[in-house]
């Protein structure tokens, strides 16, 4: 297979979803010529991210690279009815949108139902255990199919020592995450409502991730990096 024919699946939250209005690193790579199937969405949970990764890998046999960006814990995706749309979605000050008949409530606790869920029903250790199991199985399946699996953390996940030992060789740089990297960078712009990195940092991420996506073809990598430079010059420096 020619690496120039790579088809890359990307699954993540708003830190990576190319379908949003803002320019993020995945959209930059698309413009630069990477063949990308983006199955992410803004504000979604890790359940959505992993499930859509698995379902689309089964459906699309041409995918040879899977890039999974894990999100924060404690997010809840809610299947919608007309009553839930009126009571939950339309009344939320920030998460007042939906897709595929799902409300990505994220960490919103404006509605009493989310407050009660967080207080009485949400179990972080069980969520991490389920996520750990899915990642282990996904990794083994990708190996069996010859698919390159890249997993990065968007936000901090407090894995147990046992989980870290199992996942250390699967999750890239398990002690770090995209948002931490952003807040520690010279590009950090703090807002109370939006934590999607600013445009200059998106180019940092695009250059960083292309080294993992294209790991064995230096000519192709150089070609994409040059295109990224050209895109940056036209979007930021003009």
Q: What is the pLDDT of residues 114-140, one digit of tens each?
A: 999 999 999 999 999 999 999 999 999
Q: Which of 77, 213, 214, 58 is nearest to 138 (CA)?
A: 58
pLDDT surpasses 50 at 37: yes
C-alpha atoms less than 13 angstroms from C-alpha of 59 in its C-beta half-sphere: 9
Q: How many CB atoms lie within 10 A of CB 96?
A: 13
C-alpha pair distances (Å), 34 with each of 66, 187, 214: 13, 25, 10
pLDDT of residue 1: 41
pTM of the model: 0.95
Note whether 213 and 65 are within 8 A (CB): yes
* Ranges 25-29, 92-96, 190-194, 205-209: which has the least confidence: 190-194
Rounded (5°) CA angle 149-209-198: 130
Region 46-71: what's the mean pLDDT?
Answer: 98
Residue whose tokens read 């992993």: 50
Sheet containing 65-70: order of strands = 35-38, 7-11, 65-70, 148-153
Region 27-52: what's the mean pLDDT?
Answer: 97
């Amino acid at each position: 297979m020619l690496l120039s024919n790579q088809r890359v699946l990307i699954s993540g939250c708003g830190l990576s979803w190319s379908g949003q209005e803002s320019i993020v690193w995945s959209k930059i790579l698309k413009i630069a010529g990477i063949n990308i199937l983006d199955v992410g969405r803004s504000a979604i949970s890790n359940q959505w991210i992993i499930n859509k990764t698995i379902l689309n890998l089964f459906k699309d046999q041409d995918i040879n690279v899977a890039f999974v960006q894990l999100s924060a814990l404690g997010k809840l995706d809610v299947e919608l009815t007309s009553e839930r749309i009126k009571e939950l979605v339309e009344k939320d000050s920030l998460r007042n949108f939906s897709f595929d008949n799902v409300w990505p409530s994220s960490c919103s606790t404006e509605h009493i139902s989310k407050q009660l869920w967080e207080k009485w029903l949400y179990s972080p250790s069980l969520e991490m255990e389920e996520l750990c199991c899915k990642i282990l199985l996904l990794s083994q399946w990708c190996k069996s199919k010859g698919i390159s699996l890249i997993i990065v953390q968007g936000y901090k996940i407090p894995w147990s020592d046992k989980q870290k030992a199992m996942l250390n060789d699967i999750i890239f740089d398990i002690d770090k995450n995209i948002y931490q990297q952003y807040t520690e960078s010279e590009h950090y712009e703090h807002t109370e409502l939006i934590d999607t990195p600013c445009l200059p940092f998106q180019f940092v991420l695009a250059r960083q991730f292309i080294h993992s996506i294209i790991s064995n073809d230096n000519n192709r990598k150089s070609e994409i990096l040059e295109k990224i430079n050209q895109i940056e010059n036209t979007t930021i420096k003009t």
